[in-house]
Amino acid sequence: MTRGLVLGLLIAAGALSMAGAAAQAPAAGLSPAAVAATKIEKVRDNLYIITGSGTANRDAFSGGNTAVFITDAGVVIVDTKLAGWGQVILDRVRSVTSKPITTIINTHTHGDHTGSNAFFGTSVETIVQENTKATMARMDAFKGDNAKFLPTKTYKDKLSIGAGKDQIDLYYFGRGHTDGDTFVVFPALRVMHMGDLFPWKDAPFLDRNNGGSGVEIPETLDKALKGIKNVDTVIGGHQPVQQWKDLQEYQRFNTDLLAAVEAAKKAGKSVDDAAASINLTTKYAGYEAARTKAAIQAIYDEIDKK
């Protein structure tokens, strides 16, 4: 092989890999594995999710599941992943519609669900439960000049936007993962996005710094199960799409977890002893126990009012 040919092949290979990189990594600094994991997948009709939410492989992680709802008036997105992912979200949306993004709904305050809000600018209406606006205002990402990216619309218990097939119902049923978690229901499609109130099949992450409560989460989930009708498909924060019966099971899991933790505490067990003795993975098939100890600690602290 001549030197020129080798050089030519190298240049061609380089150009190919650069083209591949340009197609896969629109923004600098993003992990290629994470960009590859953000796929847009149809949930039903005019509703999609952008994936990449799994927390097991941090290198492929871009933040919580983003829902993309295409209405006559424009595109509504639910959650915006980590900071730096706005262009990828927009690229994925552009692969299914040319309509403008008009509305952002954030299920809750965390940076892996609100991180790219600012990318979409101040002309987009952003809606959250009122407690979440208060916790977002305490985040560095929304301080100073960036306060202009704080949500523009809030609600307390229930809010409906749009009409007919484009209607979206937002519900707040109380404390759980934080003190401002929204259930986002697309009634015409019988689908709901509930963020990190159902993040995975494991013990919940109870963010007590942002008002989360392991004592109240079973009741909050129960209120949602009773108060929300005609949903069969559930989008959670960091897992594949689930069914209503999975949410019913997660509510029972949380009820059993709380009862077991309260019993362990009453028996005088330390957090370590409680974690060693509480195992719900036999009763709940497919559940993991990676987050049990942290949840037990949070519930102990909550009971002790720490």
Binding site for Zn ion (CB under 5 A): 110, 196
- Between 58 and 94, name the residue whose CB sits nearer to Zn ion: 58
- Between 36 and 137, name the residue whose CB sits nearer to Zn ion: 137
DSSP assignment of 221-271: HHHHHHH--S--EEE-SSSS-EEHHHHHHHHHHHHHHHHHHHHHHHTT--H
- Between 64 and 218, name the residue whose CB sits nearer to Zn ion: 64
Contact between 54 and 238 under an 8 Å Cβ cutoff? The reply is yes
Amino acid at 179: D
Query: In the bound complex, what is the minimum distance in angstroms from residue 177's beta carbon to Zn ion?
Result: 6
Query: In the bound complex, what is the minimum distance in angstroms from residue 132's beta carbon to Zn ion?
Result: 11
300: helix, strand or coil: helix
Query: In the bound complex, what is the minimum distance in angstroms from residue 164's beta carbon to Zn ion?
Result: 31
β-pair partners for 168: 161
With CA atoms as reference, report the closest residue to 169 among 114, 140, 129.
129
**CA–CA separation, 117 vs 140, rounded Å?**
13
Query: Which tokens is 204 given?
Result: 């919940």
Query: In the bound complex, what is the minimum distance in angstroms from residue 200's beta carbon to Zn ion?
Result: 11
- Between 218 and 237, name the residue whose CB sits nearer to Zn ion: 237
- Between 110 and 193, name the residue whose CB sits nearer to Zn ion: 110
Query: In the bound complex, what is the minimum distance in angstroms from residue 64's beta carbon to Zn ion?
Result: 7
